[in-house]
Amino acid sequence: MKKNGFKQGVIGLNLTSMIDVVFLLLIYFMVATEFKTSEAAFAMDLPERIEQSSTLFDDEPLIILVDSAGEEIHDVRMSVLGPWDDVQTPEALRAFLYKNVADGFGKQGYFTLDHPIVIRPAKDAHWEHVLAVYNAAVHAKYTNITLDEPT
């Protein structure tokens, strides 16, 4: 109903300015947000090589052999060279490395945290199985881990 003295008006939203403000807010939050990627990474230093063949270490490295018996994560086959026959899974390796660390704060063990660990996979070993062993060593806080030539 039209009242005396009042113009008939249509109530509407001004879309342009609304889009304007919405985009500004969107860009503000995009810039302010730190996007979390769905990927993570292990840092590794490639070893200095002498005449393309051998890698030099100050200490005798702990050598871990890795192979694959299937495609699943639990199909990893591994062994540690030396008198440690019972270390045959990444979980056992992690516990073994953790138990035998000599941290200089009273914990007695065979290895310091910078003791060289050499992972020596078979040439057909699956990349996931190689990294499962790498992950176990990183979990145990060891820092000097290298991937060796395939056997």
Partner 1 sequence: MIRRGQASSAIHANMTPMIDVIFLLIVFFVAVSQIVDRDAVPLDLPAFEESAASEIGIEDKVIVNLISNQEGQVSQIHVRGHDVAIEDIETLHRIVTTGINGGAKEIHIRAERTAAYQYVYEVFESIQLLEGAKHVQLVIKDDAG
Residues that bind partner 1 (CB under 8 A): 16-17, 19-20, 23-24, 26-27, 30-31, 35-49, 66, 71, 73, 121-128, 130-132, 134-135, 138-139, 147, 149-150
- Cα maximum dimension of the chain: 103
With a CB cutoff of 8 Å and minimum separation 6, the contacts of 42 are: 131, 134, 135, 138
Q: Using the minimum distance from each CB to partner 1, give the nearer residue, 87 or 138.
A: 138
Report, in Å, the least distance between residue 4 CB and partner 1: 26
Report, in Å, the least distance between residue 117 CB and partner 1: 14
Q: Bridge partners of 25? A: none
* Cβ atoms 112, 58 nearer than 8 A: no
Q: Using the minimum distance from each CB to partner 1, give the nearer residue, 85 or 135.
A: 135
Report, in Å, the least distance between residue 62 CB and partner 1: 17
Report, in Å, the least distance between residue 45 CB and partner 1: 6
Q: Using the minimum distance from each CB to partner 1, give the nearer residue, 3 or 36.
A: 36
Give the Cα separation of 47 and 144 in Å (integer): 10
Phi-psi sector, 134: left (phi>0), alpha (psi -120 to 50), beta: alpha
Report, in Å, the least distance between residue 111 CB and partner 1: 17
Nearest to 58 by CA among 134, 116, 131, 144: 116
Q: Using the minimum distance from each CB to partner 1, give the nearer residue, 14 or 108.
A: 14
Chain mean position to CA 52? 28
Q: Using the minimum distance from each CB to partner 1, give the nearer residue, 87 or 125.
A: 125
